[in-house]
Amino acid sequence: MAIIHIDGKSYEVKEGKNLLETCLSLGLDLPYFCWHPALGSVGACRQCAVKSFKDEKDTKGKLIMSCMEPVKDQLRISVSDKEAAAFREQVIGWLMTNHPHDCAVCDEGGSCHLQDMTVMTGHSYRNYHFSKRTYKNQYLGPFLNHEMNRCIQCYRCVRFYKDFAGGKDLDVFAAHNHVYFGRYKEGTLESEFSGNLAEVCPTGVFTDKTLKQHYTRKWDMTYAPSICQGCGLGCNIIAGERYGSLRQISSRYNGAVNGYFLCDRGRYGYEFVNSERRIREVAIRGLMDHAIDPGAALQYLQDKLPPGRTIGIGSPRASLESNFVLQQLVGDDNFYLGMSDAEHDLATLALKILKNGPVRTPSMQEAATADAVLILGEDLLNTAPMMALSVRQAVRKQPLQDAMNTTHVPAWQDAAVREAMQDKHGPFYILHIQPTGLDEIATRTYHTAPDNITRIGFAVSQLLGAPVAAVKDLSEEEQQLAQAIADALLAAERPLIIAGYGCGCEGTMREAANISWALQQKGKAAMLVLTTPECNSLGLEMLGSHRLETAVTAVLDGDIDTVIILENDLYRRLDRHIADQFFQHCKEVVLLDHLYNATAEKATVLLPAGTFAESDGTLVNNEGRAQRFFQVFAGSGVVQESWRWLLQLGAATNNARLKNLVYLDDVTQALAQSSAIFAGIDQLTPPADFRIAGQKIPREPHRYSGRTAMLANVNVSEPKPPEDADTAMSFTMEGYRGEPPSSMIPFFWWPGWNSVQSINKYQTEVGSSLHDGDSGKRLIEPKANGQAPYFSYSPDNFVPLAGHLMLVPLYHIFGSEELSVHTPAVAERMPAPYILLNPEDAQRYQVVESHQLQLSVNGHPYTFTVKTDARLHKGMAGLPVGLPGIEVVGVPVLGKL
Amino acid sequence: MSTGHYWLVIGGVLFVILNTAAGLIWLERRMLALWQDRYGPNRAGPFGLFIVLADTIKLFFKEDWIPPFADKVVFVFAPAVVVASVLLSFTIIPFAPNVVVADFNVGVLFFLAMSSMGVYSIVLGGWASNNKYALLGAMRGASQMISYEVFMGLSLMGVVILSGSFNLSEIVAAQKNGWYILPQCVGFFIFLIAGIAETHRLPFDIPEAESELVAGFHSEYSGMKFGMIFIGEYMGITLISSMVVTLYFGGWLGPAFLPPVIWFVLKTFVFIMLFILLRASMPRPRYDQLMEYGWKILFPLSLVNLLITAAIKLLI
Amino acid sequence: MFSLLRSMWLVFLHMFHKRETYQYPEERAPLPARWRGRIALTRDPDGGERCVGCYLCAAACPVDCISLQATEDEHGRRYPEFFRINFSRCIFCGSCEEACPTYAIQLLPDFEMAEYNRQNLVYEKENLLINSEGKYPGYNYYRVAGMAIDGKAKGEAEHEEPPVDIKSLLP
């Protein structure tokens, strides 16, 4: 701790941080541009000048850039010093000389850091009367809009895009006052994290292009804290709505989960909420001609749910609450997890490893502190993108430490430490079936079949001292690799092992567990990350119940009349032919879902279920962290939360288990009592009767506009705003204006800080946790001192089968996820369906790139367009699962030529 | 008096009073406008006269809303009190020789009794409304009326002493040789001021005081219930004006070229105009000023007036 | 006391003053040019819509009676997809006009907007847009803003240099 004096007041602060960060942590308003809490300092913008004094007697002082100044004991500075303030104003004046007169047509306006800082410094009149510099803009793809005129050359974009996120195609060009931030030529920005530029850029050079399609200012949106549904990581997001449609997703800071950033699937994959394919009315087959009101539908279903002959199929993309209520509605014995066989096995295994193993599964921010990383069969950028960003930071750890040790520069001196580090990377090994986007920073990569990855993993764990038998027939190269990996992991302090659903193979997960457990036994602070495919895969597995295939058997046996399907497209879980059969044998198929999909075609009763934006609920991410998402807006018409539909069904059928459950809090309490693992899940967020100063938390900023006009075209008498009986948030702008609890921050705003940079004000210390702790509750903690039940099964070497191709899954950040592909921008980035072959295989089967290949899977023929890649193991074929147009499910599976 | 004459007088008085009150709505608006360089209602009918009709129709057809939080029985009862008490007071006014509903020998006392009844309307209405503004208005009204009631009665006593009668017809008759305004000018002023306060007209409209209390005791009233309070106020003006005329300005007495009733009406109208002029020109005093003015100035003054009058009467 | 009587007398004398009232439908009051009456959306000198859908008027509106949705044409020019003012709520404070960065929304000296049906007080863009520059002739926002639109490429606005050639080596 150090004592520093700011404007004559003494503060006790942490030593070693930079002064700007410290001042902001203390709640002082100090303008800045080039500094970013996640990116560190470069001292480029000269905006954060303060005056520093030698001692008490020094009255003259000297101007310093606070972001470049480490905090030392007895430091004397003045923020409000006239000269410093004049300097800061002057700097803004310079930055503004070429800034266009654009605010009215700029998407950043109203949440613009440049606007805020200009007001903060007091620069109000333009003194520069010459002409302005202009630039030509570039087309940067469907996600980002480019308006280079507005640039103030803070370099944050390239620092984030290249240095932090490892992007290649955004750079700075030209020199002196002509510098240009863009691509070397027009084209789509390729990074999976490009969307963050909209938040990182302090002004409107990079803005959200999907927001522009339905542009709304920050102050005009109804926000709610939400959880991303794009993958199993559970990034915290803020979702904004206006005029009944979801407008924008932005990052919601969570010091334990996603930090400041989001991936592009999470940021842009929201538009399915506004899709034309949304189910918005209750529909009953045979009664198609007239609209059915919900009451009539419930009445219709009243005697169609015979106990024992009704089953419920849950969903890993529905909330815990919805799944739980369905389980209670149909009874434990009749509840089936709506996961495909492969997914089910993987989820069961993941939960088993996390629950029984002694190794901690880290949050994303903890994962970023690892100093050696091993990835077993996982294309992180496509299966868990934000984890890849953490891995990028983790891989920097060792050289960063070296650089700090040799140059004695703190880590936040970004330019200096990067200069000292050059291209060095920490130990990082990737074993996967095909190349991944992280390969470039890996120490070594190895592309082989999933079984072989398992075998190498097995060998590594054995080398690390796990009590397992040696692997037979390991090739020389593989043996060397295993040794190298084992050595690197042993040399590290905090090794991180990552596996998951990425190659659809249980073996990789088992070996990841084995390796991490062995490392733990060696006294390392090992960490184990297991990715999960969907936003609530782990939560559904915790709820636990029967496999989907048993449901199929039961239905095909004729034991079942009615199937209630919760937010699930069974055609993505079951083979098409099996699913067809399944539906043929059901008398009634009740589907609660958002979008018309293949299952909706078969349903006899459709109940419109609210998406994440129209529902409250809880999700459990791959870390076992339960997180609550809040309803952003009241669903139009009869759209309501799935769990509410199911509760109403329960009431209509006088279900004793669902008695007295009406509101969200009732359901979460029942859930918390249902099983020990869910204990405390009802306290994730304050209850519905929570009030601050007697008021609810408003979802709308205080300058929300148009209340008395937005619906006036329908009726000049304004309707009563919807009320939220489920949570302590209100759908209006009325309510408590101060800082809400961290789990229910609908948007970040602070007086004088309209942009997202206001996050600083919500943190205990810049870049650390939010004021009352980061939200979410980890439901699983490692069994300390637990005896690791090592897995001892090792598969045989993968041998191609003549006339067959082993179909292995390939994932795409844009395309593999079911709902996000309904965003036009995401669909634009989606690859066309294909099958990836080794050129030798292609030659053998006499196909070339872009030719059609016929394969028979489970006895049914499919046709694919061929792509080739020599790095794919022979005898295997990569299939982009989940991609629209790929009908094969249950990969990995053998395909017959 | 024959029964026919009796009913005729009752009917006539009722008809004239109610219509006057209604007409006053128009008159007041026109006069206020005149004194404020405006036109006032001038669109509905000649000189905007039909505004009275329009207003009445409006009041009758407005939703008769009783707030759910109000004490319903009392709430409905209160407006009736004000109209009833004022109407009853009119029974003792001699409009002309033999044109009086009830020629009481204690007419003055009856008037005092009836006018005090009016306060119930304010207190009950304000209380039953269950609204803080209404209650505040009611409290103010009660204290104001109780205070001003005291010297209103005292100021009247001068007239009673001079005429030796409580009967208003006799008081009028006693003024044959000179109106009491001359010997009782102090009494007249006090009675007039107290009368204004009794009708809680400006500048004594403290119980309503719309700038601070919304509409005071009748904040919650609407429709015809409000109409009764509204009409009650105008009838109060007419009542006080006719009492002033009866007591101090010789009632129906006047040169013979006009019938007595006309004299009475003319004189009364002069005072009604005075009421309106007061409204046009006076600001509203503060509440404490009002009470101070009543108790510290008017009350002693009325006592002195009574003493001197009694003394002179004794001496003569 | 005397002052009271004097003021009563003075008020009484007003009886003989000339009346100030304008007998409205027959006789019209002269409205100053800056009268805050009917709200209109004006046009640029070149006939284009001035409104760029920046939402500032909506934000400035104390009764929140303006709602709009911004959109963009294929050349980058912004305009409101819909623009609605609920005149049954409007208090004609003129804050929208003050907030407007493009002189698009203007209050005009006309107050005759009464309707028998309240619903008719809800004005849409087609009711608001007029074929005039209103009180501020000559101003054209896109001539000073940096955005490229149809007919004005980058660097062609007032006080703008031609776009930077980033491949140039000249200082």
- pLDDT at residue A62 above 70? yes
* Interface residue B281 vs chain C (CB under 8 A): yes
Residues of A in contact with C78 (CB under 8 A): 105
Residue B34, in any domain of the structure: no
Q: Do B35 and C14 touch (CB under 8 A)?
A: yes
**Residue B131's pLDDT band (boundaries 50, 70, 90)?**
confident
Closest residue of chain B to C8, computed from CA coordinates: B281
Q: Average the pLDDT over each of A563-567, B100-104, C21-25 and give the range with the smallest value.
A: B100-104
Cα separation of A540 and A550, whole Å? 17
At residue B111, the pLDDT reads 85
Q: Do chains C and B touch (3 or more CB pairs under 8 A)?
A: yes
Closest residue of chain C to B30, computed from CA coordinates: C15
Average pLDDT over residues B134-148: 85
Residue C160, in any domain of the structure: no
At residue A456, the pLDDT reads 93
CB C8 within 8 A of CB B277: yes
Q: Do C8 and B36 touch (CB under 8 A)?
A: no
Per-residue burial over A866-882, b = 16 or more CB atoms within 10 Å of its CB, e = otherwise? bbbeeebbbbbbbbbbb
Q: Which domain holds residue B261?
A: 65-315
Which residues are registered as beta bridge partners of A894? A806
Greater confidence (B55 vs C87) lies with C87
Closest residue of chain C to B274, computed from CA coordinates: C8
Angle between helices B260-281 and B185-198 (to 10 degrees): 70
**Residue A292's pLDDT band (boundaries 50, 70, 90)?**
confident
How does DSSP classify residue A683?
G
Q: Do C14 and B34 touch (CB under 8 A)?
A: yes
CB B275 within 8 A of CB B21: no
At residue B64, the pLDDT reads 82
At residue A878, the pLDDT reads 92
* Interface residue A215 vs chain C (CB under 8 A): yes
Q: Regarding beta strands A144-146 and A206-208, do their DSSP bridges make them parallel or antiparallel, or are they unpaired? A: antiparallel
Amino acid (1-letter code) at residue A402: D
What is the residue-averaged pLDDT of chain A? 92
Residues of A in contact with C171 (CB under 8 A): 176
User: Which chains, if any, share at least 3 CB pairs under 8 A with chain A?
Assistant: C
CB C57 within 8 A of CB C105: yes
Residues of C in contact with B277 (CB under 8 A): 8, 11-12
CATH code at A804-896:
2.40.40.20
Domain residue ranges of chain A, discontinuous segments joined by +: 2-95, 283-343+538-762, 360-525, 804-896
Distance from CA of A186 to the nearest CA of C (A): 14
Q: Do A101 and C146 touch (CB under 8 A)?
A: yes
Q: Do C8 and B35 touch (CB under 8 A)?
A: no
Q: What's A283-343+538-762's CATH class?
A: alpha beta
At residue B169, the pLDDT reads 82
pLDDT in tens, A445-485: 999 999 999 999 999 999 998 888 888 888 999 999 999 99
Q: Best of C19, C23, C24 to disrupt the B interface by mutation (most B CBs within 10 Å)? A: C19
At residue B315, the pLDDT reads 81
CATH code at A2-95:
3.10.20.740
At residue A288, the pLDDT reads 66
Q: Do B281 and C11 touch (CB under 8 A)?
A: yes
Greater confidence (B8 vs A536) lies with A536
Residue B224, in any domain of the structure: yes
First-to-last C-alpha distance (Å) of chain C: 87
Residue B60, in any domain of the structure: no
Closest residue of chain A to C78, computed from CA coordinates: A105
Q: Average the pLDDT over each of A208-212, A712-716, B224-228, C138-142 and give the range with the smallest value.
A: B224-228
Q: Do chains A and B touch (3 or more CB pairs under 8 A)?
A: no
Neighbours of C111 (CB within 10 A): 13
Distance from CA of B87 to the nearest CA of C (A): 30
Of the candidates A545, A602, A538, the one whose C-alpha atom is nearest the C-alpha of residue A568 is: A602
Q: Average the pLDDT over each of A94-108, A405-419, A520-534, B56-70 and give the range with the smallest value.
A: B56-70
Split into its structural domains, chain B has a count of 1
Q: Do C159 and A131 touch (CB under 8 A)?
A: yes
Residue B47, in any domain of the structure: no
Q: Best of A98, A149, A205 to disrupt the C interface by mutation (most C CBs within 10 Å)? A: A149
Q: Which domain holds residue C65?
A: 25-143
CATH (domain of C71): 3.30.70.3270
Closest residue of chain C to A180, computed from CA coordinates: C166
Average pLDDT over residues B233-249: 86
Neighbours of A681 (CB within 10 A): 25
Q: What is the C-alpha radius of gyration for chain A, rounded to an integer number of angstroms?
A: 28
Which residues are registered as beta bridge partners of A445? A430
Residue B209, in any domain of the structure: yes
CA neighbours closer than 13 Å in the CB half-sphere of residue A782: 20
- pLDDT at residue B1 above 60? no
Q: Best of A128, A716, A734, A749 to disrupt the C interface by mutation (most C CBs within 10 Å)? A: A716
CB A434 within 8 A of CB A422: no
Average pLDDT over residues A317-330: 94
Distance from CA of C71 to the nearest CA of A (A): 7
* Interface residue B278 vs chain C (CB under 8 A): yes
Greater confidence (B179 vs C156) lies with C156
Residues of A in contact with C145 (CB under 8 A): 100-102, 104-105
Residue B50, in any domain of the structure: no
Residues of B in contact with C16 (CB under 8 A): none
Distance from CA of B246 to the nearest CA of C (A): 24
Tokens of B223: 């429709």
Residue C109, in any domain of the structure: yes
Cα separation of A379 and A231, whole Å? 13
* Interface residue A171 vs chain C (CB under 8 A): no
Average pLDDT over residues A842-861: 89
Q: Do B39 and C18 touch (CB under 8 A)?
A: no
Tokens of A632: 């952003």
Residues of B in contact with C19 (CB under 8 A): 37-39
Which residues are registered as beta bridge partners of A180? A173
Residue B238, in any domain of the structure: yes
Q: Do C166 and A704 touch (CB under 8 A)?
A: no
Distance from CA of B31 to the nearest CA of C (A): 9
Of the candidates B84, B100, B254, the one whose C-alpha atom is nearest the C-alpha of residue B170 is: B100
Q: Do C67 and A147 touch (CB under 8 A)?
A: no
How does DSSP classify residue A2?
E
Split into its structural domains, chain C has a count of 1
At residue A664, the pLDDT reads 95
At residue B195, the pLDDT reads 86
Angle between helices B223-248 and B51-61 (to 10 degrees): 130
* Interface residue A714 vs chain C (CB under 8 A): no
Chain C residues within 8 Å of chain B (Cβ atoms): 4, 7-8, 10-12, 14-15, 17-21, 23
Q: Do A104 and C160 touch (CB under 8 A)?
A: no
CB B82 within 8 A of CB B118: yes
Average pLDDT over residues B145-159: 84
At residue B61, the pLDDT reads 87
Distance from CA of B279 to the nearest CA of C (A): 9
- pLDDT at residue A692 above 80? yes
Q: Average the pLDDT over each of A364-373, A621-630, B140-149, C124-133 and give the range with the smallest value.
A: B140-149
Question: How many pairs of residues across B and C have Cβ atoms under 8 Å apart?
Answer: 33
Q: Best of B32, B36, B193, B289 to disrupt the C interface by mutation (most C CBs within 10 Å)? A: B36
Residue C84, in any domain of the structure: yes
pLDDT in tens, A784-819: 776 768 888 778 888 888 889 999 999 999 999 999
Q: How far is CA C118 from CA A715, C88, C108, in A?
A: 9, 7, 21
Closest residue of chain C to A704, computed from CA coordinates: C59
Residues of A in contact with C119 (CB under 8 A): 715-716
Q: How far is CA A678 from CA A316, A659, A671, in A?
A: 16, 20, 7
- pLDDT at residue A290 above 70? no
Answer whether CATH 3.40.228 is correct for domain A360-525: yes
Cα separation of A297 and A390, whole Å? 48
At residue B184, the pLDDT reads 80
Q: Do C8 and B37 touch (CB under 8 A)?
A: no
**Residue B205's pLDDT band (boundaries 50, 70, 90)?**
confident
Residues of C in contact with A102 (CB under 8 A): 145-147
- pLDDT at residue A533 above 70? yes
Tokens of A751: 């007086």
At residue A289, the pLDDT reads 62
Q: Do A716 and C58 touch (CB under 8 A)?
A: no
Tokens of B234: 């105008």
Average pLDDT over residues A24-51: 93
Q: Do C52 and A716 touch (CB under 8 A)?
A: no
Angle CA A525–A526–A529, to nearest 5: 140
